């Protein structure tokens, strides 16, 4: 069954202090390898990592002995009067998105690396070019979390195309994957590029490949079919299991087989693709189209 993405996904986090602890309501203790609890945080792992966790002055620190992109940690943080968007601090003064869903009284974050988490107030978002766009709610939801950025402060570039490097950064940022070193592609400067670690993360997971054994083509444009493959493989990497969905409405997808058919069925089934007569798989995907694909996939996998 196709998922329905809410028009206003990001709801302002409530900053109401309650006399009775929120833990007394609607909370069930996690049962899969709970290793560490603090006053407002519970950290657990389905694969049994040894975890150290602490909270101090609004910063939630999580460390584990085994952390990688296929073995995530799940972190539950009760709001208890805190408000804002949850982010992870990568270095002093620099904060990046973290994948999480809002459960009302608490947040459930999925992280793939040791992290320091903190609530931050989101920047005001106003992109003039998305006001009448069908992708406005998806773009706004991702922008408020810090996952996507505009071309300028008031222009998103909703109809602009997307490059292989940009797609890699967006997926890694959205799913909070840990960046990985990359050396095999001669057209990526591993030390100086702003996307090398992101490409490395996706390449290590089998989500994206090079154009050849030695080249990645970071500035090459992404087609709709390629984007479907990348997002579909990402959902597989985080163990998302979709409902069976056999038929597709697109006249130009009738010859699809194997992996591309599977992933197209998955994304159509969750509502990540538009309802058109044709899929136009070889057409370059726009930033707006990919924002919908990414946001709906995050929501379906419990990360938004």
Give the pLDDT band (50/70/90) at residue 185: very high
237 within 8 A of 70, measured Cβ to Cβ: yes
- Nearest CA-CA partner of 148 in 301, 292, 303, 300: 292
30 band by pLDDT with thresholds 50, 70 and 90: low
pLDDT at 46: 86
Query: What is the mean predicted confidence (pLDDT) over 226-236?
Result: 98
pLDDT at 233: 98
**Burial 237-263, CB ≥16 within 10 A → b, else e:** bbebebeeeeebebeebeebeeebeeb
| pLDDT at 67 (0 to 100) | 82
Residue located via tokens 């101090």: 56
Q: Tell me: pLDDT of 17 over 60.
A: no
Report pTM. 0.88
Q: What is the mean pLDDT of residues 249-253?
A: 93
Which tens digits make up the pLDDT trace of 160-179?
A: 999 999 999 999 999 999 99
Total residue count of the chain as it appears in this document: 304
Residue 27 confidence (pLDDT) above 90 = no
Q: Which residue has the higher pLDDT, 236 or 4?
A: 236
Instruction: State percent of the chain over pLDDT 90.
Output: 74
Residue for token digits 């090398």? 196
Q: What is the rounded CA–CA span in Å between residue 284 and residue 301?
A: 25
Q: Give mean pLDDT, residues 123-149.
A: 94
Q: Are 218 and 165 in contact (CB under 8 A)?
A: yes
Which residue has tokens 């809410």?
6
pLDDT of 33 above 90: no
- Do residues 138 and 130 make contact, with C-beta atoms less than 8 angstroms apart? no
pLDDT bracket for residue 11 (50, 70, 90) = very low
Beta bridge partners of 116: 61
pLDDT for 7 equals 43
Question: What pLDDT, on the 0 to 100 scale, is given for residue 48?
Answer: 84
Burial class (CB in 10 A: 0-12, 13-18, 19+), 37: middle
- Mean pLDDT, to the nearest integer, of 194-215? 95
Show Cβ contacts of residue 73 under 8 Å, excluding neighbours closer than 6 positions.
43, 44, 45, 49, 51, 62, 64, 67, 110, 111, 112
- The sign of the dihedral angle between the CA atoms of 162, 168, 169, 172 is positive
Choose between 32 and 133: higher pLDDT. Answer: 133
How does pLDDT run across 50-87, given as a tens digit for each residue? Answer: 899 999 999 999 999 888 899 899 999 999 999 999 99
Instruction: Return the sign of the alpha-carbon dihedral for residues 156, 159, 164, 170.
Output: positive
Per-residue pLDDT at 49 exceeds 90: no
**pLDDT the model gives residue 87:** 95
- Compare 27 and 242 and report the one with higher pLDDT: 242
pLDDT computed for residue 104 by the predictor: 92
Q: pLDDT tens digit string along 96-112?
A: 999 999 999 999 999 99
Take residue 144 and report the two structure tokens written for it. Answer: 């408020």
CB-based contact 7:296 (threshold 8 Å): no
């Amino acid at each position: 069954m196709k998922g329905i993405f809410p028009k206003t996904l990001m709801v302002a986090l409530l900053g109401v202090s309650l006399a009775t602890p929120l833990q007394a309501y609607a909370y069930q203790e996690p049962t899969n390898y709970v290793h560490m609890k603090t006053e407002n945080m519970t950290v657990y792992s389905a694969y049994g990592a040894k975890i150290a966790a602490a909270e101090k002055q609004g910063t939630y620190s999580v460390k584990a002995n085994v952390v990688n992109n296929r073995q995530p940690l799940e972190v539950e943080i009760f709001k208890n009067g805190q408000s804002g968007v949850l982010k992870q601090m990568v270095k002093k003064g620099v904060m990046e998105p973290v994948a999480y869903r809002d459960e009302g009284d608490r947040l459930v974050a999925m992280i793939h690396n040791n992290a320091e988490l903190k609530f931050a107030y989101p920047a005001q978002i106003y992109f003039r070019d998305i006001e009448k766009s069908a992708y406005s709610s998806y773009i706004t939801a991702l922008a408020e979390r810090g996952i996507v950025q505009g071309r300028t402060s008031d222009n998103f570039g909703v109809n602009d195309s997307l490059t292989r490097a940009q797609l890699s950064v967006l997926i890694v940022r959205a799913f909070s994957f840990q960046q990985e070193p990359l050396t095999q592609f001669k057209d990526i400067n591993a030390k100086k590029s702003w996307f090398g670690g992101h490409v490395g993360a996706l390449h290590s997971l089998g989500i994206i490949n090079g154009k050849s054994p030695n080249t990645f083509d970071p500035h090459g444009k992404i087609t709709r079919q390629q984007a479907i493959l990348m997002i579909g493989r990402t959902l597989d990497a985080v163990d998302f299991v979709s409902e069976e969905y056999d038929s597709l409405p697109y006249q130009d997808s009738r010859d699809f087989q194997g992996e591309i058919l599977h992933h197209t069925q998955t994304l159509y089934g969750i509502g990540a693709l538009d309802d058109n007569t044709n899929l136009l798989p070889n057409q370059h995907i726009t930033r707006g189209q990919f924002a919908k694909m990414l946001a709906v996939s995050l929501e379906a996998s419990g990360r938004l």
